[in-house]
A and B are shown apart, each in its own frame.
Chain A
Amino acid sequence: MLGTGRRGLIRASVLGATLGLALSGMAGAQEPPILVGLVVKDLDNPFFVKMIEGAQAKADELGIDLQALAGADSADNEGQVQHIENLVAAGAKGILLTASDSKGIVDAVAKAREAGLLVIALDTQLDPHDAAQATFATDNRLAGKLIGQWAAATLGDAAADAHVAFINDSTLQTSVDVQRNQGMMEGFGIDVVDPDFIGDETDTRIVGHEVSNGGPELAVTGMENLLTKDPDIDILHTINEPTAAGAYQALEAAGKTDQVLIVSVDGGCPGVQAVKDGKIGATAMQFPLLMASLGVEAIAQYAADGTLPAPTEGMDFFNTGVVLITDQPVEGIESQDTTWGLENCWG
């Protein structure tokens, strides 16, 4: 392309020099705006993509520089550690983080705090909870409880002998996974034994647990495996709506869509549409765009005058809210229908 010999060498040098000058130009000529880092789990999940969009919109509004970084997959802790370190080196004022390993990221977060940054955990609390200065999250246990209660109430007397199956995120017992799973069991009326661990329950209504890594592909196989274990499943708990979509595909292929009631968490527009279409029975809506924009605002505030964001009264995190979306409301459980859902969904 550049040619060989002397001409080629000259062309290559010019290209290289131009590239270098261009890059240096990009680095900012005048007073640089505040840098905020958003480190999400991965870029495959639309939940995180929407979060990035929400943060970017708020950042543009406030004149802030936002850098969105992600791990290689939803289990990549080392990648997130590297991103946090690099953001500190780049001079960020604060970091918004959805941790893939709520314990494994703690050291890196501590180092960022030592360097004077405000670190806010989004969606997933760290372990210990005060590792980050603040957490903006959905009350995931409440989200699980709502769908569990709805499922039990919808089945009525049949709930006592129901066959309940679960498709979780992973085998890694992450806080979001555990809270939604155990919350759903509590809401349904299953004894959770240890509320911080999935799998120690002894209730015979439980068919089993499969994992989807948050996406539809593995959910298809997971659903098939669960049906092989027990063809008479009544209720399926899914970690999120992409998982529910995959499970539904497997149910369709098996001709069991009328038999199994699916509950989920997320509130993405495709998921709410699935509730409207009768594929999902009920879903707990969360508000990622709100989490992200509140996070950016909080860091802007911190950079301006050092104020730390405050948690919701009575909790150790700032609750960004959860709303049950269903077209089959149940007495005693507050919910909104899919029309409201489609107006307020994300994605």
Chain B
Amino acid sequence: MPVPSATIELDEARAEGPVQRVRHLLHDHPTLGPAAVLLVMFCLFAVASDRFLSPANLSLVVQQVMIVGTLAIGQTIIVLTAGIDLSVGAIMVFASLAMAKLSVEMGLPPALAILAGFLAGALAGGLNGLLITRLRLPPFIVTLGTMSIFFALNIYVSRAATIRGSDMDPLLLLTGKSVEILGTKVTYGSMAMVVLYLVTAYVLSMTRWGKHVYAIGDDPEAARLAGIRVRRMLVSVYAIAGLIYGIAAWFFIGRIGAASPQAGQSANLDSITAVVIGGTSLFGGRGSIWGTLMGALIVGGARNGLTLVGIDSLWQDFTIGVLIIGAVALDQWVRRVGS
């Protein structure tokens, strides 16, 4: 006589070991995976170096993550729609040069120059969106092309010269200035980045626009049939991402103290790394913006920690490669629960 299925389920549940229980827990709360990796990493570094957990150093890690962390916000919303953006760095530099040149060389009031930079980023992102939706080309191809186009424009417009912070109005450098909170210096830019994350988290989970982003990434045809204006949404996603890159440009100028046409070349890979480690699927429709922040902190914290422990660049690169594979493998293992 066949055993009733309810009994079988109970038997299976009782037989589950602690590892399987952890796996289920991580599956139900996707951000826990990267958060766990971050926690373990921080613990290891704290044990290996007594300087790692000092408030000054932790504040430094956040500052170091500020630029990629912000760019990754834009990358996240694009990846959520199953797209990808390789022109991240080039657009950020484009916006930073716009801000710097308009203010320093053309005498525009700094506030206007900064807003113009945001606009430049949004327009560049919008261009990506238009090319992707009108020409119906894969985002990878389009942004690969615009990456080269903007890079060349950047060199041309700047005559390959870096614009120095010492020539700039203090407003452009504001994001790099810090204020003392609880005995540690925290930069305005880092605080603004956290605010951006909060705003993005709200928009993605609480607004119709946000829900449409997930829907498009999950199944664009179903989204279209449900009445979502997919092409218009996609253009808005890329344009908003561009705006975020423009904001990141302001953070960049504040942090580095210069606007340089050669900057941002590893930004593409770094932002995608943060998104992937953070658990957002490259196939779209699934992921959390907080995961991205964890991902950015993992890579940034790893570099800082490895330097404090005394490891040379060669082995740092090696370790970070292993870390990336490990983090994504963990995520995949978690996802395969019950499938």
Write the chain A residue with the least CB distance to B63: A85
Q: Mark out the residues of chain B between 160 and 206 whose CB falls within 8 Å of any chain A CB in the assembled complex.
A: 160-162, 164-165, 176
Write the chain B residue with the least CB distance to A197: B159
Known: A87-B307, A103-B164. A77 touches B19 (CB 8 A): no
Q: Mark out the residues of chain A between 55 and 87 whose CB falls within 8 Å of any chain B CB in the assembled complex.
A: 65, 67-70, 72-73, 75-79, 81-83, 85-87
Q: Mark out the residues of chain B between 273 and 323 whose CB falls within 8 Å of any chain A CB in the assembled complex.
A: 303-304, 307-314, 316
B residues in contact with A23, CB < 8 Å: 44, 47-48, 309
Report the Cα distance A103→B100, complex, angstroms.
Answer: 14
Query: Does B40 contact A16, Cβ atoms closer than 8 Å?
Result: yes
Which of B129-137, B226-234, B258-266 interfaces with chain A?
A: B258-266
Report the Cα distance A100→B56, complex, angstroms.
Answer: 27
Interface string of A248-286 (1 = CB under 8 A from B): 000000000000000000000000000000000000000
A residues in contact with B316, CB < 8 Å: 69
**How distant is B68 from chain A, measured CB to nearest CB, in Å?**
9
A116 interfacial contact with B, CB 8 Å? no
B residues in contact with A108, CB < 8 Å: 256-257
- Which of B18, B155, B258, B303 has most chain A Cβ within 10 Å? B258
A residues in contact with B148, CB < 8 Å: none
B residues in contact with A171, CB < 8 Å: 155, 160
Chain B interface category by residue count: 35 or more
B residues in contact with A35, CB < 8 Å: 310
Write the chain B residue with the least CB distance to A110: B257
B residues in contact with A78, CB < 8 Å: 67, 256, 263-264, 266
Report the Cα distance A310→B304, complex, angstroms.
Answer: 32
Query: Does B67 contact A86, Cβ atoms closer than 8 Å?
Result: no
**How distant is A337 from chain B, measured CB to nearest CB, in Å?**
36
Query: Does A172 contact B60, Cβ atoms closer than 8 Å?
Result: no
Indicate which residue in A65, A69, A81, A173 contacts B160 across the interface (CB closer than 8 Å). A173
Query: Does B303 contact A82, Cβ atoms closer than 8 Å?
Result: yes
Number of A-B contacts (CB under 8 A): 139
Write the chain B residue with the least CB distance to A90: B308
Number of interface residues of A (CB under 8 A): 47
Query: Does A6 contact B256, Cβ atoms closer than 8 Å?
Result: no
A residues in contact with B63, CB < 8 Å: 85
Report the Cα distance A193→B237, complex, angstroms.
Answer: 48
Q: Mark out the residues of chain A between 312 and 331 whose CB falls within 8 Å of any chain B CB in the assembled complex.
A: none
B64 interfacial contact with A, CB 8 Å? yes
B149 interfacial contact with A, CB 8 Å? no
B57 interfacial contact with A, CB 8 Å? yes
- Which of B40, B63, B257 has most chain A Cβ within 10 Å? B257
Query: Does A9 contact B19, Cβ atoms closer than 8 Å?
Result: yes
Indicate which residue in A65, A75, A85 contacts B64 across the interface (CB closer than 8 Å). A85
Write the chain B residue with the least CB distance to A88: B60
Query: Does A172 contact B160, Cβ atoms closer than 8 Å?
Result: yes
A220 interfacial contact with B, CB 8 Å? no
Known: A78-B263, A104-B258. A173 touches B308 (CB 8 A): no
B50 interfacial contact with A, CB 8 Å? yes
B residues in contact with A72, CB < 8 Å: 265-266
Report the Cα distance A173→B176, complex, angstroms.
Answer: 26
Query: Does A89 contact B56, Cβ atoms closer than 8 Å?
Result: yes
Query: Does B257 contact A89, Cβ atoms closer than 8 Å?
Result: no
* 19 sample A-B contacts, Cβ–Cβ < 8 Å, listed by A number: A4-B20, A8-B17, A9-B19, A26-B310, A43-B314, A73-B265, A75-B262, A76-B265, A76-B266, A77-B256, A83-B313, A89-B56, A89-B57, A89-B60, A90-B51, A101-B263, A104-B162, A172-B262, A173-B161
Interface residues of A (CB under 8 A from B): 4-6, 8-9, 16, 19-21, 23-24, 26-27, 35, 43, 65, 67-70, 72-73, 75-79, 81-83, 85-87, 89-91, 100-101, 103-104, 106-108, 170-173
Interface residues of B (CB under 8 A from A): 17-20, 40, 43-44, 47-51, 56-57, 60, 63-64, 67, 155, 159-162, 164-165, 176, 255-258, 260-266, 303-304, 307-314, 316
Smallest CB-CB A-B distances: 5 pairs: A107-B257, A23-B48, A5-B17, A86-B307, A103-B162
Known A-B contacts: A6-B17, A89-B56, A107-B165. Give 10 more (CB < 8 A).
Answer: A4-B17, A20-B43, A23-B47, A27-B50, A73-B265, A73-B266, A77-B263, A86-B304, A89-B57, A104-B257
